[in-house]
């Protein structure tokens, strides 16, 4: 499996606008539209890295309303918003080429987000190269691949992608992957974008060579959705909820300091590792979730990579 652990955001439960207001190391902006909260963060330097737990770069997170994946109108709105967010990370035109990589195992439903996104993209590099007269000048050059996972191919994903980059010479690489959620509440409810690439397998302690600008030589944008959660995280979140309800009249800072400390996860891991430490959990409706989420991600990517085409035009090409 290729799950990457979702980006750290230890302060996500607090008012980040107040926390980072005037901070010289981190820029933070948050907007809300159609009940979708969009957070944008720029980590400027090493001090910002230490404060937030993220590498220097740009990050955006879309927090979706619950059951979005059953609402077709909402899915269209999110596709447009996601496409606009992605445009802030890339600047495409008809002379540029983008390579989209769908990470994950297509045989495992919650890990199949990347491959499913690839199947819904408007790929055009072959048309622009071999049949330029059949496609308008407004269309950008896009190619895509689902490289599979090491257990299926016997080849490291980084080796496959690096070979492609050397051959295709794209201006951008976009990697799409399933994530392992850090909190149960984030499961299937966030779309995360980052300019620092992606680490396949990190979410299940299966570290692989990262896919980023340092390893590939071109800008790499990582896109992910938390589709699974570690059983230990479920236990940890349950304990948090129980303690807060039992101690609801006690000062929140006191609870954090004395009960929800940094050693909590390690204590849980030691006590439960024999029975559920390696268990990865996903919702029962994961099939519907992955199908809907992959459509939103794919359309958002199509919108960003073909900025001269609107959603109606794109639907004509890919349906």
Chain-centre distance for alpha carbon 239: 27
Considering the four listed CATH numbers 3.30.70.260, 3.30.1380.10, 3.40.50.1450, 3.60.15.10, the one that applies to the domain covering 4-226+283-318 is 3.40.50.1450
What residues does each domain of the chain span?
4-226+283-318
pTM (2 d.p.): 0.84
Judged against a pLDDT cut of 60, whether residue 202 lies above it is answered with: no
Closest CA to 198 of 212, 188, 215: 212
Average pLDDT over residues 31-48: 93
Judged against a pLDDT cut of 50, whether residue 10 lies above it is answered with: no
Q: What's the mean pLDDT when you consider all of the chain?
A: 85
Average pLDDT over residues 60-74: 90
Judged against a pLDDT cut of 50, whether residue 13 lies above it is answered with: no
Rounded to whole angstroms, the Cα distance separating 236 from 184 reads 10
Average pLDDT over residues 248-267: 63
* Cβ-based neighbour number of residue 29 at 10 Å: 13
User: What is the reported pLDDT for 1?
Assistant: 55
Judged against a pLDDT cut of 60, whether residue 11 lies above it is answered with: no
Rounded to whole angstroms, the Cα distance separating 177 from 200 reads 8
Rounded to whole angstroms, the Cα distance separating 264 from 253 reads 16
The DSSP 8-state label assigned to residue 250 in this structure reads: S
Q: What are phi and psi of 14, to 5 degrees?
A: -100, 175
Taking only the tens place, the pLDDT of each residue in 184-197 is 888 889 999 999 99
Model confidence at 52, pLDDT cuts 50, 70, 90, reads: confident
CA distances from 10 to 7, 16, 21, 51, 182 (A): 10, 11, 17, 10, 10
Judged against a pLDDT cut of 60, whether residue 308 lies above it is answered with: yes
Rounded to whole angstroms, the Cα distance separating 280 from 232 reads 9
User: What is the reported pLDDT for 86?
Assistant: 97
The DSSP 8-state label assigned to residue 249 in this structure reads: T
User: What is the reported pLDDT for 129?
Assistant: 86
Average pLDDT over residues 161-169: 96
């Amino acid at each position: 499996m290729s799950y990457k652990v979702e980006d750290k955001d230890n302060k996500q439960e607090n008012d980040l606008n107040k926390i980072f207001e005037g901070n010289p190391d981190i820029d933070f902006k948050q907007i809300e539209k159609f009940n979708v909260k969009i957070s944008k963060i720029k980590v400027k330097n090493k001090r910002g890295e230490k404060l937030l737990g993220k590498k220097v770069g740009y990050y955006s997170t879309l927090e979706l309303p619950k059951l979005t994946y059953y609402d077709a109108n909402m899915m269209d709105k999110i596709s447009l918003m996601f496409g606009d967010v992605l445009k802030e990370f890339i600047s495409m035109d008809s002379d540029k080429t983008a390579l989209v990589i769908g990470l994950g195992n297509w045989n495992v439903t919650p890990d199949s987000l990347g491959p499913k996104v690839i199947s819904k993209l408007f790929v055009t590099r072959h048309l622009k190269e071999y049949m330029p007269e059949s496609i308008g000048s407004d269309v950008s050059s896009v190619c895509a691949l689902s490289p599979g996972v090491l257990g299926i191919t016997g080849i490291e994903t980084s080796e496959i992608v690096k070979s492609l980059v050397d051959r295709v010479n794209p201006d951008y690489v976009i990697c799409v992957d399933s994530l392992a959620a850090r909190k149960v509440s984030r499961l299937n409810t966030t779309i995360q974008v980052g300019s620092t690439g992606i680490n396949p397998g990190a979410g299940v302690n299966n570290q692989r060579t990262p896919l980023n600008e340092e390893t590939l030589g071109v800008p790499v944008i990582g896109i992910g959705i938390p589709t699974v959660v570690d059983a230990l995280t479920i236990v940890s979140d349950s304990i948090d909820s129980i303690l807060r309800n039992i101690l609801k009249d006690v000062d929140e800072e006191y609870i954090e300091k004395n009960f929800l400390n940094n050693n909590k996860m390690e204590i849980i891991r030691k006590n439960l590792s024999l029975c559920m430490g390696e268990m990865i959990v996903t919702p029962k409706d994961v099939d519907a979730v992955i199908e809907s989420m992959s459509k939103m991600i794919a359309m958002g990517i199509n919108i960003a990579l073909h900025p001269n085409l609107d959603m109606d035009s794109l639907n004509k090409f890919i349906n």
